[in-house]
Amino acid sequence: MIAMPSTESQVVRKLQDGVLNVHKEAGWTSHDVVARIRGKLRGVKLGHAGTLDPAATGVLPLLLGRGTRIAEYLLEWDKTYLAELRLGEATDTQDATGTVLRRVSTDSLNEARLREVVARFQGPIQQIPPMYSAVKVGGVPLYKSARAGKDVMRQAREVTVYRLDIVNITFPRVMLRVTCSKGTYIRTLCADIGEQLGTGGHMAALVRERVGPLVLEQALTVGEVESRLAQGTLEASVLTLDEALVGLPMCTVGAGTARRVLHGMPVPGSEVLGWDGVPTACSDGASRAIRIKDEAGRLLAIGTLPAGLGMQGSRADELPIAVSKVLVTDESQGSSIANSIEE
């Protein structure tokens, strides 16, 4: 086996657990990106959060080391896309890779009508997942049923389009910028707009411009990742776990409680030294993830605030915080506790 140059070996050893903002280029699958970089970062556990189709480009969060343990929280991030809607052509996949099912003239369309219809899709909306998707019905991914020629009944799901702007209009093509919640299918959004306009439509192109705090302008192509690795500068581009999770509320615990946290033991609210962003975190009756830190500011774990917090007068100091993910090593025992807590 050929050894890596010393600079690359040293950089790999120094790489911290975290998130790398990668610019996925056209033609690559998300798995291709992970596999290529894994080949360079031998010994570093890798994963990604939020798959992009091969034809799509843009931000792909790459998870390094214990960053793979926070994927479920990163998937909660809202996202911004730039999409090209091609009106007048409906396809079976709702994008440009599919077979055209019908063509309709767009000669009667005008900007006022387009804006009136697009405005209907801002806010909470109902979406039926496309047949060509990884959503499972009866334990079977929809795309497998689609490839077998089956049309499966799907339940509509609520997603939220926080912002929907028309960037450019050159009929039959319309450029849209969409900021949305997790689970939103942009190709379904394009197809649904086309249906409401009476012309049909599909997503002709897609760029993911932002995922949470990660923006396309700061993303590195695979080539740039490899170049910075060779130069010994890649570490500066990695977002720490704490930086990646900055949107979560936080609590601080003392040394004794911190040691118990590293063994997955729950944190009594009365032992929390300080709270940040917590009082209204669960006021809607849903449980919430929370960062648990020690007094030095080190991120120890991710916990779960109970659903009752903020409801019927319940206070944070009256309710225990369950430890969901331990993110550091128990240095006193010289071994990692991180994998001992159930996923």
By annotation, the residues acting in catalysis are 53
DSSP state of 259: H
Backbone phi and psi for residue 283, each to the nearest 5 degrees, phi listed first? -65, -15
CB 94 within 8 A of CB 130: yes
How many residues are listed for the chain in this entry?
343
In angstroms, the CA 325 to CA 343 distance is 7
Residue with tokens 């792909």: 60
In angstroms, the CA 216 to CA 211 distance is 9
What CA dihedral angle connects 239, 240, 245 and 249, to 10 degrees? -140
Q: Kind and range of the H or E element at 240?
A: strand 238-240
CB 132 within 8 A of CB 191: no
In angstroms, the CA 334 to CA 339 distance is 14
Residue whose C-alpha is closest to residue 146's, from 136, 132, 126, 128: 132
Work out the number of other CB atoms within 10 angstroms of the CB of residue 146. 18
Cβ-based neighbours of 60, under 8 Å, separated by 6 or more: 22, 23, 24, 30, 33, 48, 50, 52, 208, 219
Distance of CA 154 to the CA centre of its chain: 23
In angstroms, the CA 106 to CA 88 distance is 6
What CA dihedral angle connects 223, 216, 15 and 248, to 10 degrees? -160
